[in-house]
Amino acid sequence: MGATINKNGVLAGQVAVVTGASRGIGEAIALRYAMEGARVIVSARTVEEGDHVLEGSINSVVKKIKDAGGEAHAVRCDLALEDHRRNLVSEAESTFGPVDILCNNAAVTYFVPVESFKEKHYRLMMEVQVYAPFHLTQMVLPAMKEKQAGWILNISSHAALHPAANAGGRGGTVYGMCKSALERMTTGLASEVYGEGIGVNVISPGLVATPGVMHHNLITDDTPEERVTPVEHMSEACLRLVHGDHKEMTGKITYAADMLRDYDLTPADLI
């Protein structure tokens, strides 16, 4: 039997916002949350197939969810723009109600050495990958605090780890800076809201063969197969990080492989 929607699943009736959800990891997370009964706001810049050089769109993801019997709504959002961020939260609330789960997955990335990195690209990456998650969090926190319940999940990368000096770089310094900042924001916020019913976590996926990863040639013919993580592993780990005891499931800086092992998770097929 194929994957289905369980309207009485562990996220039944909850409102989940997933950014960067037109393809790849964001799409997988949106689908997995919907499979457990969440009403999902699918957000990204790409509305229709063909709007972007890469395959995938928010309307396609919403159609998958609705065709399977789930609830979803597409909201176009350029996270570099303040009015788009405000509209994302406003439309989520007006469509489904206050946000229960915020998954900050979206990223814009340039892999360029520091010496030749353009200021406009630096500022754009910081805006999208660091300030946008911070701002969205600010907007959803009041309702979460009022309900004494909520989850914020940030998507990081192994790039946040300090590289060895002799490792050789591929222009990932700014990307690593952004992800390191996101991880520190996660633990800081988890500490701030501990005991208020809100769990805040950050997870890195490993190397997943998403359209973006392939576009940047981060996986090549020489990449060992065991290094590549199936996207279903990441979506299953991201599901586990947004339900349970908020006091125990919070402040985590974790990885997909570790979550599967530590919580004995079996990745589900996606709809």
Which residues are catalytic, by number?
175
Q: Is the dihedral of CA 202, 207, 209, 211 positive or negative?
A: positive
- Residue 33's nearest CA partner among 62, 1, 75 is 62
b/e string for 109-122 if b means 16 or more Cβ within 10 A? bbebeeeebeeeeb
The encoded tokens of residue 38 equal 């969440």
> In the sheet that 253-255 helps form, which strands lie side by side, from edge to edge?
71-76, 39-44, 15-18, 101-104, 150-155, 198-204, 253-255
Dihedral, 135, 136, 141, 142 alpha carbons, nearest 10: 80
Residue with tokens 């439309």: 91
